[in-house]
Amino acid sequence: MVVLAERRSSGAALWAGRLSTFAAVLFVSSGLGHRFGLLETVGFLWILGLVAILALGALILAAAGFFQLWTQGYRGGISSARAVVVALLVLSPFLVSAWRVYEFPQLADISTDVGDPPSLDAAARQRDGGMNPVTAISAAAGAVQSEFYPDITGRRYPLSADRVEELAAQLVLDNGWTFAVPPVAPTDGGDGLIEALASTAILAFPVDVSIRITDEGETSYVDMRSASRYGHHDLGDNAARIAGFLTALDAAVAGAAGPAPGDQPPPASDVPVPTEPPG
């Protein structure tokens, strides 16, 4: 009579599954809490660090589970594989962020005018000691921005400053941003200013935005600034925000201005209509 020994279960595989699941639940719940204002940003950053550690620990334990399966025949291969998948999903935002740190320059304050950027007076009053201070953009940072983001420049529009400010303010609301202070209307030959609070797309980190509209008489000139409240690397987010907003403003201004005279279709009476078929 042959007695088969029962295969032992891998404790490493079991704990790999537990850690990966806990990391995923913690990541999702804290992310939702931060997005809806139930968790402040500094605490959320600490939780993100803990999530990364838990996910990495799950990968290490899963590797140990696979090793025990291969060398000692322990059960737990499915648990280890599941833990690897969940842990990699949790770590994917961290991996993308690491790539963006490598790909984009270390900047956290971007402006279409680095020499005289739009002011962030409301943001300066709202930021505390744990946030990035609102300062002038240094010459070194301006040079780096010009090298990496040469297309981040201001726009001149063939509309009055009042009308451009209306369109810009509407786009702020359309983007889900909130006004930091009521928009300042442009004066004759002067500037109008819109200050707003935006956030990053996924984890909702706060970002201060300032839009300056300069009255040039028959035309208006728009400059924009986007500055992260936390961290010294924006992962390319601020430049993308400015580029996207100004592209949308281009379209809004084009729609408000109407087609140019040369773009009008010819009157129907100017189009020859044959009265009888050719031939």
Q: Note the CATH architecture for domain 109-257.
A: 2-Layer Sandwich (3.30)
Please compute Rg for the chain using Cα positions. 28
pLDDT of residue 261 exceeding 70, the answer is no
Per-residue pLDDT, averaged over 74-84, amounts to 88
Query: What is the 8-class DSSP label of residue 176?
Result: T
pLDDT of residue 55 exceeding 50, the answer is yes
| Beta-ladder partners of 195 | 210
pLDDT of residue 12 exceeding 70, the answer is yes
Q: Which pLDDT value is given to residue 73?
A: 77
> pLDDT for 187-243, tens place per residue?
777 899 999 999 998 889 999 999 999 999 889 999 999 999 999 999 999 999 999
Per-residue pLDDT, averaged over 90-99, amounts to 96
pLDDT of residue 263 exceeding 70, the answer is no
pLDDT of residue 279 exceeding 50, the answer is no
Q: Are 90 and 19 in contact (CB under 8 A)?
A: no
Helix-strand-coil split of the chain, %, nearest 5: 50, 15, 35
Q: How confident is the model at residue 129 (pLDDT cuts 50, 70, 90)?
A: confident
